[in-house]
Structure 1
């Protein structure tokens, strides 16, 4: 339990500072924050003054040079951390020490013990520390969970999840191991979190493979086999030098559920859920849902109410670490 922020009115806004000018911040999070009625983008910080000024100018906020300077600003109540994964632990800890609520990109850290320590620090200080896994806030996946619970495909047997993206530029930071790069932490986190979100836990790793492409210093593809306590098996595949695929399939004793464009749908996309059984194929078309705005809603609500469960983030952190530790390396 965290201490809720003081609420002096329904329209009180949360003043957020952005730590860095990463692509995801500029392309998705900053536009969504600027449009959110309960968030004010107070500042954007960068070590590069020109980059800070350019990004701040695009989103109508104040440029700040240096992350420490941003954290020293008492008018900033929360920070968003879109830095490379290996830098999260240092700057999330510094933000918590400065009394800021934190929304940090996934994975929260690259080490489960560190993730636990930071979550403990946030709880002890009465602050919110939330991992920015956006797809779990899309309404489609709750519909899927209800269909499974209602027996739409009989007894659940297996989950197959795939998330792959096209080849990245050679100088992309996700090719740098010292910054926490690699396919497992960049794209593998999505299938892992999908398994945590859709299956009963605790999940255990039964096998894993990480592949390293020619000339690469990080894993560029991988797969993992997980098992739930009641025997449901999850097959996860991921990669960052492949054709784009973003989907999962739940197989049961009497049918299956298919979900495409599962992890990064645009806000105007009308998602579909396909249910195949012996009686035929039914397609459920749902209204568009904005998972980015929903994520910000969840963050603001957590700050206001003091309620936030870290259980899924901890389960995800443990599974990522176990996959890396047990993976058969490429030759």
Structure 2
């Protein structure tokens, strides 16, 4: 790469503050040059904290900055489509937080806008760049555990503040959109194909969003994936991949920090191995994969994957409206 990719950050959201901006600052491929907020004061404070040279009091002002190559969007879910399209029309590449959109149509429109303007678009599923996830995926492909038969995943946490955006239906809140999307994503990744039917049941919070949801994805040929996601339980993150000869277990599967991470392999009775993977900043790995695609390479996970994920999520919601009946994709 001849020069660094110059980044603008669209909002001062916590995920940017805690994870993505530090990850970009740690990359030799990136330079964070601007941040925008609806409040110039907040943008200026954020910029000072991270030694970012320019702060803007509106998102439009950041998009007008000709010295920005790529924009990170950590806005609430219902704003992803609007600002992804506007960023694309400004000729800048987009790393957008998950879930990419509220539904399939929005997702299609966002992808079309990126293509029409010749820019790259990526959905920010950072977990899949961890070497442990890549290794588990390769072990499944290599048949280490035999034929993959069952995928079990969970992503839960407890939140009681119903004023939070995650509890607002009109903002794309709810457990499935916030964390269940990870379970759907890793299930599709490990299966290597799209589900043919899905089913789901849920319980709603007082605000109307899904506070707890259990889903089943049928991939055909004897492969099922089931998951649970919730905002009303103690924190759990897990993924178990069960095959005809054994299983792989990935503790703390999604929001892993930079500490060393285990991958557990069980092959038959008593044949147990624990592989330890050195700590890695998955946000930096994700951003660098995206920047390589900007420079002309191919991303590890093409944007069409986001469309596949949203098709499954939309079908899961449809199943809940049909009392858990299977929905064909």
* TM-score (normalised: structure 2): 0.93
Offset of residue 216 of structure 1: 2.8
Alignment of 1:266 with 2:261, yes or no, is no
**Alpha-carbon distance between aligned partners in 2 of 1:174 and 1:204, rounded to the nearest angstrom:** 29
Contact residue 162 and residue 207 of structure 2 kept, 8 A: no
Matches within 5 A, 1:60-79: 60-61=51-52, 62-79=54-71
Partners of 1:250 and 1:288 in 2: how far apart?
A: 22
How far apart, CA to CA, are the structure 2 residues paired with 1:219 and 1:240? 9
Q: How many pairs align? A: 319
**Equivalent residue, structure 2, for 1:321:** 314
- For residue 17 of structure 2, the aligned residue among 10, 26, 34 is 26
Structure 1 pair 185/317, CA: closer, same or farther in 2 (3 Å)?
same
Which blocks of at least 5 consecutive residues in structure 1 are unaligned?
Answer: 1-6
Contact 1:160/1:236 (8 A) holds in 2: yes
- Residue deviations 1:229-279, cap 9 Å, x none? 322000011011111111110111122111101101111x21111111224
- Please state whether the residue corresponding to 1:327 is helix, strand or coil: helix
Cα RMSD over matched residues? 1.5
Q: Report deviation, 1:204.
A: 2.7
What is the SS of the residue equivalent to 1:207? strand
Does residue 243 of the first structure (1) align with residue 234 of the second (2)? yes
Unaligned residue ranges in structure 2 (runs of 5+): 324-329
8 A Cα contact 2:250 2:262, kept in partner? yes
For residue 135 of structure 1, give the secondary structure of its aligned residue in structure 2. Answer: helix
1:209 to 185, 192, 201: 201
| CA drift at 1:328 | 4.8
Shift of 1:201: 1.3
The match for 1:81 is: 73
Q: How does 1:1-331 map to 2 (within 5 A)?
A: 9=2, 12-61=3-52, 62-213=54-205, 215-267=206-258, 269-280=259-270, 281-308=272-299, 309-328=302-321
Instruction: Give 3-state SS (helix, strand or coil) of 2:210's partner.
Output: coil
Runs of 4+ in 1 over 3 A off after TM superposition: none
Q: Residues 159-210 of structure 1: CA distance to partner in whole angstroms, max 9, x if unpaired? A: 0000001224232111111211111110111101011111121213331012
Does the aligned pair in 1 maintain the 2:41–2:57 contact within 8 Å? no
Contact conserved, 2:167 with 2:207, CA < 8 A, in 1? yes
**Contact 1:196/1:312, CA 8 A, preserved across alignment:** no
Whether contact under 8 Å (2:7, 2:32) holds in the other structure is: yes
1:329 CA displacement: 7.8
Aligned to 2:327: none
C-alpha offsets along residues 60-107 of structure 1, whole Å, 9 cap, x if unaligned?
112100111111111111110000000000010000011110000001
Contact 2:199/2:217, CA 8 A, preserved across alignment: yes
TM-score by length of 1: 0.92
Bigger Cα displacement from structure 2, 80-89 vs 133-142: 133-142
Distance 2:295 2:133 in 1: 25
Query: 2:326 corresponds to which residue?
Result: none
Between the aligned partners of 1:256 and 1:68, the Cα distance in structure 2 is 50
**In 2: Cα distance, 1:285 partner to 1:71 partner:** 43
Retained in 2: the 8 A contact 1:202–1:229? no
Q: Distance in 2 between matches of 1:266 and 1:56?
A: 24
What per-residue deviation string (whole Å, max 9, x for no partner) do you get for residues 29-51 of structure 1? Answer: 11111221111111110001221
